[in-house]
Structure formats: structure tokens, C-alpha cells
Amino acid sequence: MEREDSFICSSCCKQASEQQTNNSTQTRKYKTFSGRNIIFWKGRCITSHQPAVLIMTFLLIIIVAILFFSFDARYLAIRLNPVILVPPILSLIYLLIFLLKAACIDPGIIPKPMPDEIAYFEKKYPKASQGSSPEWKTDYFGQEITLKQC
């Protein structure tokens, strides 16, 4: 029984090491991108060419939150109830998470497909690769308009 387990484990490790060597020889798409954006964490975070604006925004939000929690929130917690601090804390956390998410996802970048991706798409969807999009004519306030589907 132990022999089979060791054989399975060694074959899994061998396959994983082969995949790592195959992946290391391929170039990532973000490395070939020639834009002005700054790319962090192996392409997981793509920001604009001015990350100082993002840092300043984070600092301003944190400073305002510190002022709120040190003066107003402390007064409210003493006078009313400490549970009153839960919504502002959750709002601050959501705000910072979504600001970071919006700053790190740049929708303006559409990577060009590799030749094998193009061939796969053309084989899977032959009508779409011919360049003909469906179109139809409709009447709009007495004027005939041609609509095309992208």
C-alpha cells in the first residue's frame, strides 16, 4: 500500500514540476504590455502611471477616519452605545476595499490574443470569425434605421 502511495505522490510531483518548467518558459502578457500603466504582483494589480494619487487618497480617507473615530465616535459611544460604531467601521472597510479594487483593475487594457487563442476562437465560432454581424432594419419615427449587433 505504501508503495502505491509513494508512486502516486512522485508522479504528481513530477507532473507539477513539468508544469512549472513549461510555465516559466512562457512570457506573461503583462510583461509584453507597452502602456504607461504600472503593474504590480505579477499582473494582479494594474494602476495608472501616477500611483501617488492613490496613496494620497488613501491617506486622506484614513486621516478623516482617525479624526472621526477619535472625536465624534468616542462621544457617540460614551453618550449612546458602543454598537453605534459598527456601521462607520464597516463603511470604512468597504470603502478602502472597493477603492483598492477599483484602483487595481484597469478596464482600459484589453490584451491582444495570442495566435493559438485566435485559432481556437475561429475554430469554435466560425460565423463570428467571418466578420459578418447580424443586422436588421427598423422604423424609428418614420425613418428607416439599420441596426447591427456587435
- Measure the CA–CA gap between 75 and 88, rounded to whole angstroms: 14
Whether the pLDDT of residue 112 is over 60: the answer is yes
pLDDT-derived band at 94, boundaries 50, 70, 90? very high
Looking at the predicted structure, is the pLDDT value of residue 14 above 60? Answer: no
pLDDT at 13 over 60: no
The predicted model scores a pTM of 0.51
Predicted local confidence at residue 131, as pLDDT: 58
Q: What is the mean pLDDT of the chain?
A: 75
Q: What is the pLDDT of residues 17-72, one digit of tens each?
A: 455 555 556 777 666 666 677 777 777 777 777 788 888 999 999 999 999 999 99
Residue 61: which residues within 8 A CB-CB, separation 6 or more? 92, 95, 96, 99
- Provide the CA 124 distance to its chain's centre, in angstroms: 26
Q: Tell me the DSSP string of 63-123.
A: HHHHHIIIIIHHHHHHHT-GGGGHHHHHHHHHHHHHHHHHHH--TT--PPPPHHHHHHHHH
